[in-house]
């Protein structure tokens, strides 16, 4: 079972991070609206979400926006 960290209602830090990495704002907005990209509440990490053919989230990769942190959510498939 996939266990995500608590998520933030805002995505400001993630948007800033991805724009600084050269990702086009239109792509960022699309991914946020479709919940492919989320932001954690405590550390403001980027969550890159993967879904199965039924639309259920099965995988989540986490990447630090202010540190070199890299990881996967518990239960990622």
Q: Which band of pLDDT confidence, cut at 50, 70 and 90, is reported for residue 77?
A: confident
pLDDT tens-digit readout, 5-29: 999 999 999 999 999 999 999 999 9
Q: Which two tokens stand for residue 49?
A: 């979400």
Give the separation between CA 18 and CA 1, rounded to whole angstroms: 28
Q: Which residues, 6 or more positions from 35, have their beta carbon under 8 angstroms from its beta carbon?
A: 49, 57
pTM for this one?
0.93
State whether residue 27 is helix, strand or coil: helix
State whether residue 64 is helix, strand or coil: coil
- Strand-pair partners of 61: 48, 72
Packing angle of the helix pair 12-20, 25-33 (nearest 10 deg): 140
């Amino acid at each position: 079972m996939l266990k995500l960290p608590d998520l933030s209602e805002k995505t400001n830090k993630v948007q800033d991070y991805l724009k600084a990495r050269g990702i086009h704002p239109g792509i960022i907005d699309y991914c946020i609206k479709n919940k492919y990209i989320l932001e954690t509440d405590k550390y403001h990490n980027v969550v890159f979400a993967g879904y199965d053919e039924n639309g259920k989230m099965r995988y989540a990769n986490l990447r630090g926006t202010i540190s070199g942190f890299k990881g996967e959510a518990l239960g990622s498939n």
